Amino acid sequence: MYLYVFSGKASMLCTTLITDLDLMQLSHLLTPQAQQMESSLVRELLQYSQQPDILSLAGGLPDETLMPPLPDLAPVTSFAQYGPSEGEPALRQQISHIISERGLSVESSQVLVTNGSQQGLDLISRLVLNPGDVVLTEQPTYLAALQVFQLQGAVVKTVESDETGMNPEALKAAIEQYNPKAVYLIPNFQNPAGHCYSVARREAIAEIIDAHNILLVEDDPYRDLYYDDVVITPIASLLNAAPWVYMGSFSKVLWPGLRVGYVSASPSVMPFLVKIKQASDLHTNRLGQSLVSTFIAEGKLPAHLEVIRSSYKGKRDVMAAALERELGDCMTIHAPKGGMFFWLALPEDVSSKQILHDALEQKVLVLPGTPFFPTREAYTDGFLRLSFARLSHADIEKSITVLASVIRSHIG
């Protein structure tokens, strides 16, 4: 097992091995899944993204300069006492309206407010996954989802995916081969690859999931960050019979530090999710819920979303132009239609981990694609995920110039 460990200097980057002795000393306490857990490279790299001299393309951090002022605390609902496990009633009602406007009609009773959508992944995993159960995902997929599934002892099997989504024929074949418990999808501006599912793919996948009565776990944190004309209808809204869980978050569009997310689910699933939530942490922090609810109630959210969409679209376009100019002759550049990330396939035999090391020497931080693959095949070292959300136009240009120089130094 490897953990990424960083020295105090940005110029030094290495991995260190957890020894067999370390594990032996705790093996009588740790579950097999805990012993196999790896740290998140994204979280390990986060310390660098906070350093003023580092240009970070690595994390999925929103732009702080676009975050609206927090609402005045004076009108915020009292939050000193314990609250309901399901979440604040006003916020649950607001979230049900938001989800329903997306095409997935839900009542407030079908909404559970969580500590970020990440907790939603944890709750549903605890509810349905036994050791050895199979979860089907895209290839690649969200690395923190992989951590949650594997901590429960589940087996992750990937399904061939492309720029229009998971391949329906490959999905049917995987269902027949593995008899999975659930299918986990990020249809809108997928993290890390940036894919947005076509209408045909959404409909075909819904039909397959319905036919096999498999649980759909749909993660939709980037839905509001669209920059082109695309269809972003929830796949859950197309189901007729199969159970579903739909997750979202305010972290990417408001204040990530508040950790306010939500889960909606089939009526039959919700009571069980609430019980797991009660056992997990009683309820989500009431102050954060009240701040988000107040901002929505004041009618400020739609205008704010327009502001961040305009800003991020400009940054995406700057990065796309810079990548095409600097690397277009040796790499294929796909500009995402929404979200925060570019997904780059490196030239043959160029290692993403080596690019991370060498770019960091020049104060540019990138994220290797390796952690987004549940299996460590040789080809998984050939990708980078680059975020354009946090940097200015000038810093995007500068960082891509540096990155291109590093990549070219490894070609051939």
Reported as a single tens digit per residue, the pLDDT across 159-197 is 999 999 999 999 999 999 999 999 999 999 999 999 999
Together in a domain, 131 and 234: yes
Together in a domain, 40 and 136: no
2 pLDDT band, cuts 50/70/90, is very low
> What CATH number did the domain enclosing 370 receive?
3.90.1150.10
CB 252 within 8 A of CB 240: no
Enumerate the β-bridge partners of residue 345.
383
Spatial neighbors of 178 by CB under 8 A, at least 6 apart, are 134, 136, 157
Together in a domain, 39 and 115: no
Angle at 391 between CA 385 and CA 394, to 5 degrees: 115
Strand, helix or coil for residue 361: helix
Please state which of the ranges 14-23, 50-59, 156-165 shows the lowest mean pLDDT: 14-23
The pairing of strands 111-115 and 55-56 is: unpaired
**Of 297, 318, 337, which one is at a domain's C-terminal end?**
297
pLDDT > 90: what percent of the chain? 80
Together in a domain, 18 and 116: no
Measure CA 182 to chain center. Answer: 18
Judged against a pLDDT cut of 90, whether residue 214 lies above it is answered with yes
72 pLDDT band, cuts 50/70/90, is confident
The mean predicted confidence, pLDDT, of the chain is 90
Residue 368 lies in a domain: yes
Together in a domain, 97 and 18: no
Residue 231 structural domain: 89-297
Distance CA 193, CA 196 (A): 9
**Of 297, 330, 360, which one is at a domain's C-terminal end?**
297
4 pLDDT band, cuts 50/70/90, is very low
Tens of pLDDT along 215-243?
A: 999 999 999 999 999 999 999 999 999 99
Query: Nearest Cα to 293, choosing from 77, 65, 68, 62?
Result: 77
**Of 248, 276, 297, which one is at a domain's C-terminal end?**
297
Of 20 and 50, the one with more pLDDT: 50
Residue 283 lies in a domain: yes
Together in a domain, 167 and 271: yes
Residue 225 lies in a domain: yes
Together in a domain, 218 and 131: yes
- What's the pLDDT at 7? 40
Residue 80 lies in a domain: no
Judged against a pLDDT cut of 50, whether residue 9 lies above it is answered with no
Together in a domain, 291 and 324: no
- What's the pLDDT at 37? 60
CA dihedral 388, 390, 393, 399 (to 10 degrees): -70
Mean pLDDT in residue range 31-55: 68
Tens of pLDDT along 270-303?
A: 999 999 999 999 899 999 999 999 999 999 999 9
> What CATH number did the domain enclosing 251 receive?
3.40.640.10
Together in a domain, 148 and 262: yes
Residue 79 lies in a domain: no
Together in a domain, 287 and 334: no
Tens of pLDDT along 138-165?
A: 999 999 999 999 999 999 999 999 999 9
Stated pTM of the model: 0.89
Residue 75 lies in a domain: no
Residue 61 lies in a domain: yes
Together in a domain, 29 and 52: yes
- What's the pLDDT at 1? 37
Tens of pLDDT along 312-371?
A: 999 999 999 999 999 999 999 999 999 999 999 999 999 999 999 999 999 999 999 999
Distance CA 361, CA 182 (A): 42
Structural domain count, the chain: 2
Residue 76 lies in a domain: no
Share of the chain residues as helix, strand and coil, in percent rounded to the nearest 5: 45, 15, 40
380 pLDDT band, cuts 50/70/90, is confident
Together in a domain, 152 and 264: yes
Spatial neighbors of 72 by CB under 8 A, at least 6 apart, are none
